[in-house]
């Protein structure tokens, strides 16, 4: 047990010590790198003023909305494309081309179309999260064991029933992989969206910290992002273990 | 007696390869027919045509009633428990009510809640059989259902299968490459050979020796092995020929 704890927390602890060393004895100036204590104080001040929760909540809400939107759309479009060769021929090349565009290239257009409000941010996040989910789901559907489909076919299970009872459950592992990558992408695009134009959120803390040369605020935002990313990843893994307990692979 | 399955002038091609060029076959109600043949001779294709899994290129196939299909692999849905896998085949309340009976009949009642990944090979194949039984089919098509199992388990499941088939009174078409299995389970054994495949031998298993593992079947064994083109079979009365799977021949 102690050994496992040491294995899990060894590296973060070493990083923290190294950081503390650099900023105290190491002679790194505070405008270059704030000390762990500075960051702790900043965190406390933010919590006391209520700004911490405001920023966290703003970012979490954007990620949640953008990711949910992406998930719903990717499942709908991905299932349709995966299940129908005709739709695949009609839609997939275009979607792959759109996917090839670095998603940040959409930013100017989104700003023009949707302004600098929440809609543009959520849309950008959704674009970022959509493709990993879509790509993995369609690949998963394509790779469903033909033999299982044959079993269903012999039993007269076809069409929508076949999709619901066989194809989609069989593709669920791929969908979950896509969703996990998509969620990571969502946090990535959140920062991109908030760096551009926002008045709250973790990305806003980053820009504000840079403008007023407060490395403690920047580091606080970075730490919070790391924490949020890790937490949502863990939540996803938990969900995965729940939904995919039937798979016969190595434990994730 | 009326035929449960009749195949008339079956033609089946895969590209240039002609598998059947006018094959006739009929299976009576309640009869168990075993089809033997070397690998790739078309015996599985025959079964798939009868079961509607492959489309014939000519001829006609008449199947009198509901079919249950058992495959070489269990083909269970990995995300469903044994019970739900079996229930997958149920279309009505009546058939759903039969799920427990089917599971009990194959001897899996204690394992009904398990997932496929928790089953041994034999258990999985039993579950697969239960799924085929839910619709109370009067015809069972089995495509080498036991060939993936080890030898001891195969003997055990052959006995279980014989028992179940007798209880149901089902008509069975069994494709196998195991001569002993064919002689144990079947009332009649066919050997398919050649390209296009023809029936090169039809053999009635003597009524008093069906569902028994008797050495008295030695002449029949020799006859079947010769029809399958297995060389080196000695014709010595009373001697039991050691039989291996014929897949390699």
* DSSP codes of every residue in A223-237: HHHHHHHHHHHHHHH
Within 10 angstroms of residue B107's Cβ, the number of other Cβ atoms is 17
B17-28/B58-63 β-pairing: unpaired
Q: How far is A238 from chain B (nearest CA, A)?
A: 17
pLDDT value, residue B215: 65
Q: What is the ipTM score, two decimals?
A: 0.80
Q: How many CB pairs under 8 A join A and B?
A: 40
The Cα B201–Cα B33 span in angstroms is: 13
pLDDT value, residue B244: 47
Mutate to test the interface with B, among A145, A154, A161, A248 (most CBs of B within 10 A): A154
In the three-class reduction of DSSP (H, G, I as helix; E, B as strand; rest coil), residue B130 is classed as helix
Rg of chain A over CA atoms, in angstroms? 22
**Could you tell me which of A188, A185, A68, A72 has the C-alpha nearest to residue A129?**
A185
**All structural domains of chain A with their residue ranges:** 51-243
Give pTM, 2 decimals.
0.80
Q: Show pLDDT as tens, one digit a residue, over chain A (252 residues).
A: 788 888 888 898 999 899 888 888 877 887 888 888 889 999 999 999 998 999 999 999 999 999 999 999 999 999 999 888 899 999 999 999 988 888 778 888 888 898 888 899 999 999 999 999 999 999 999 999 999 999 998 898 988 899 999 999 999 999 999 999 999 999 999 998 888 778 889 999 999 888 888 888 999 999 999 999 999 999 999 999 899 989 887 554
In the three-class reduction of DSSP (H, G, I as helix; E, B as strand; rest coil), residue B4 is classed as strand
Residue A147 and residue B71: Cβ atoms within 8 Å? yes
Give the residue on B whose Cα is nearest the Cα of A244: B79
Q: Show pLDDT as tens, one digit a residue, over chain B (249 residues).
A: 578 899 999 999 998 889 899 999 999 999 999 999 888 888 899 999 998 888 999 989 998 888 899 999 999 999 999 999 999 999 999 999 999 999 998 889 999 999 999 999 889 999 999 999 999 899 999 999 998 888 888 888 898 889 888 888 899 999 998 888 999 999 999 999 888 888 888 888 887 878 877 766 777 887 888 788 775 555 554 444 444 433 333
Across-strand partners of B58?
B11
Residues of A in contact with B80 (CB under 8 A): 246
Residues of B in contact with A247 (CB under 8 A): 78, 117
Please give the class, per CATH, of domain A51-243: mainly alpha
Q: In chain B, which among 64-103 make CB contacts under 8 A with chain A?
A: 67, 69, 71, 73, 75, 77-80, 88-89, 91
Tokens representing residue B247 in the block: 């897949």
pLDDT value, residue B203: 87
pLDDT value, residue B240: 44
The Cα A120–Cα B136 span in angstroms is: 58
């Amino acid at each position: 047990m102690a050994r496992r704890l040491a294995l899990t927390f060894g590296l973060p602890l070493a990083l923290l010590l190294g950081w503390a060393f650099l900023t105290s004895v190491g002679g790194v100036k505070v405008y270059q790198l704030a000390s762990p204590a500075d960051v702790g104080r900043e965190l406390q001040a933010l919590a006391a003023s209520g700004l911490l929760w405001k920023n966290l909540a703003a970012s979490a809400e954007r990620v949640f909305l953008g990711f949910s939107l992406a998930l719903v759309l990717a499942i709908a479009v991905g299932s349709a494309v995966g299940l129908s060769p005709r739709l695949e021929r009609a839609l997939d090349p275009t979607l792959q081309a759109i996917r090839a565009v670095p998603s940040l290239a959409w930013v100017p257009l989104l700003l023009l179309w949707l302004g600098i409000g929440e809609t543009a941010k959520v849309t950008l996040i959704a674009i970022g999260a959509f493709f990993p989910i879509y790509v993995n789901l369609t690949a998963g559907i394509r790779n469903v064991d033909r033999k299982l489909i044959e079993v269903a076919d012999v039993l007269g299970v076809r069409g929508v029933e076949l999709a619901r009872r066989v194809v989609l459950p069989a593709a669920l592992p791929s969908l979950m992989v896509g969703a996990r990558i998509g969620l990571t992408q969502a946090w990535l695009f959140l920062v991109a969206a908030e760096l551009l134009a926002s008045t709250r959120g973790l990305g806003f803390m980053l820009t504000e910290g840079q403008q007023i040369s407060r490395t403690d605020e920047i580091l606080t935002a970075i730490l919070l992002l790391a924490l949020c990313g890790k937490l949502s990843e863990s939540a996803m893994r938990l969900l995965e273990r729940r939904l995919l307990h039937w798979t016969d692979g190595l434990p994730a | 007696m009326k035929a449960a399955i009749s195949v008339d002038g079956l033609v089946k091609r895969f590209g240039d390869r002609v598998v059947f060029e006018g094959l006739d076959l009929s299976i009576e109600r309640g009869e168990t027919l075993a089809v033997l043949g070397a690998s790739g001779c078309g015996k599985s294709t025959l079964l798939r045509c009868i079961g509607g899994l492959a489309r014939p290129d000519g001829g006609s196939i008449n199947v009198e009633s509901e079919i249950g299909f058992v495959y070489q692999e269990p083909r269970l849905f990995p995300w469903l428990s044994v019970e739900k896998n079996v229930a997958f085949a149920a279309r009505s309340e009546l058939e759903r009510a039969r799920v427990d009976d089917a599971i009990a009949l194959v001897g899996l009642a204690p394992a009904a809640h398990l997932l496929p990944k928790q089953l041994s090979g034999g258990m999985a194949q039993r579950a697969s059989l239960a799924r085929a039984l839910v619709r109370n089919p009067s015809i069972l098509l089995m495509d080498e259902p036991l060939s993936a199992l080890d030898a001891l388990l195969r003997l055990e499941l052959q006995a279980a299968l014989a028992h179940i088939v007798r209880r149901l009174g089902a008509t069975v078409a069994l494709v196998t490459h195991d001569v002993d299995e064919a002689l144990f389970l079947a009332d009649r054994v066919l050997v398919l050979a050649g390209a296009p495949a023809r029936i090169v031998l039809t053999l009635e298993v003597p009524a008093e020796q069906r569902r028994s593992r008797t050495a008295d079947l030695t002449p029949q064994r020799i006859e079947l092995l010769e029809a399958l083109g297995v060389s080196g079979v000695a014709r010595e009365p009373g001697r039991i020929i050691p039989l291996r799977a014929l897949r390699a021949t």
